[in-house]
Amino acid sequence: MSVLEVQGLSVRLGGRRVLRDIDLSIGDGEFVGLIGPNGAGKTTLLRSVLGVVRPESGRVRVGGAPPRQARAGIGYVPQRHEFAWDFPISVEETVMTGLVRDVGWFRRPRQEHYDAVADAIVRVEMGALARRPVGELSGGQRQRVLVARALALRPRLLLLDEPFTGLDMPTQELLLDLFRGLAAEGRAVVMSTHDLAGAMHQCSRLCLVNRTVIADARPGELRDPAIWMRAFDVQATNPILSVLGVAA
Ligand SMILES: Nc1ncnc2c1ncn2[C@@H]1O[C@H](COP(=O)(O)OP(=O)(O)OP(=O)(O)O)[C@@H](O)[C@H]1O
């Protein structure tokens, strides 16, 4: 069943059209890699799905509802540098901020919220550091906290903005296993990434975006080098085509 429907989405930011006529339908249990060059509009697309960017035209539906009214939870993991890590709060408190809409502003969390936070922290294997101030964490640990914060909502749709940037291989593997596990449980996972080879191997579907959708298919169906050349504005001689196994 489809959890996310994007139809004819166009977005204008600062007077410039950033996204044009995006159509996308994503079902429960899919693990979708959103890929495209810098400035292609990946973050803008994720933020439109979250409902924090207003479309110029078109519409977004999550579980049949506009994003801000969606009852099917949307978990969002921003790029790591966008979070205020110098705020003096612990891992647990940070993960609890993911539930602020459920808890209510200035209300005390209930037991169910503490349970959801504890589950999410265990899921990213941060149990031993739950009381640690987030400012003292490494980059990989911080990324795991952001994922836990999104998971605390038990979202049906998880949006991840470049979750692997700057992470070592073991942390990447841990998170990748987690994302695949979440998709296997039936959640839809949409991840923007610059790790093209990794996405080619790990995602069930790839959506190549460069202001609009250039291609949208299973990785094995994206064998035509012309698609990649168009999406990334590169030439036929670019070594990435060989790395991806699609060179002519
Ligand atoms: N608030 C804003 N005002 C004006 N232009 C913006 C704004 N936010 C983003 N843009 C522009 O929109 C375009 C798409 O940006 P976006 O961050 O969505 O791309 P991206 O594919 O996520 O890029 P990257 O891979 O570099 O993270 C860029 O040209 C960017 O400069």
* pLDDT reported for residue 101: 76
The pLDDT tens digits for 65-103 are 998 887 768 999 999 888 888 888 999 999 999 888 777
Q: Identify whether 6 is part of a domain.
A: yes
* pLDDT reported for residue 19: 97
13 Cβ inside 6 Å of ligand 1: yes
171 Cβ inside 6 Å of ligand 1: no
44 Cβ inside 6 Å of ligand 1: yes
Residue 19 contacts residue 10 (beta carbons within 8 Å): yes
| For ligand 1, atom 28: residue with the closest CA | 39
Q: Identify whether 48 is part of a domain.
A: yes
Beta strands 57-62 and 212-217: pairing type? unpaired
Helix (H, G, I), strand (E, B) or coil at 52: coil
Residue 23 contacts by C-beta under 8 Å, 6 or more apart in sequence?
A: 6, 7, 8, 9, 213
Q: Identify whether 90 is part of a domain.
A: yes
Residue 162 CA: which ligand 1 atom is closest? Answer: 27
Residue 192 CA: which ligand 1 atom is closest? Answer: 22
Cα separation of 191 and 104, whole Å?
28
E strands in the chain: 2-13, 16-27, 31-35, 57-62, 74-77, 157-161, 188-192, 205-210, 212-217
* pLDDT reported for residue 95: 95
| For ligand 1, atom 16: residue with the closest CA | 41
Q: Identify whether 233 is part of a domain.
A: no
Q: Identify whether 232 is part of a domain.
A: no
Look up tokens 């069943």; give the residue. Answer: 1
Residue 79 CA: which ligand 1 atom is closest? Answer: 27
Q: Identify whether 244 is part of a domain.
A: no
* pLDDT reported for residue 128: 95
36 Cβ inside 6 Å of ligand 1: yes
Number of domains in the chain: 1
38 Cβ inside 6 Å of ligand 1: yes
Low-confidence residues of the chain, pLDDT below 50? none
| For ligand 1, atom 1: residue with the closest CA | 13
Query: To 10 degrees, the CA torsion angle through 45, 49, 53, 56?
Result: 80
* pLDDT reported for residue 116: 95
Look up tokens 């993911």; give the residue. Answer: 98
78 Cβ inside 6 Å of ligand 1: no
* pLDDT reported for residue 80: 84
* pLDDT reported for residue 73: 87
Q: Identify whether 184 is part of a domain.
A: yes
103 Cβ inside 6 Å of ligand 1: no
Range of the domain at 38: 2-222
Amino acid at position 231, single letter: A
Q: Identify whether 185 is part of a domain.
A: yes
Sheet (strand 205-210) strand order: 74-77, 157-161, 188-192, 31-35, 205-210, 212-217
The pLDDT tens digits for 152-168 are 999 999 999 999 998 99
Residue 40 CA: which ligand 1 atom is closest? Answer: 21
Q: What is the CATH number of the domain that holds 92?
A: 3.40.50.300
Under DSSP, the state recorded for 65 is B
Beta strands 205-210 and 31-35: pairing type? parallel
* pLDDT reported for residue 81: 83
Look up tokens 């992470």; give the residue. Answer: 167
Q: How far is the CA of 16 from the centre of ligand 1 (A)?
A: 10
Look up tokens 């901020």; give the residue. Answer: 97
**What are the DSSP calls for 81-149, one per residue?**
GGS-TTS--BHHHHHHGGGHHHH-TTPPPPHHHHHHHHHHHHHTT-GGGTTSBGGGS-HHHHHHHHHHH
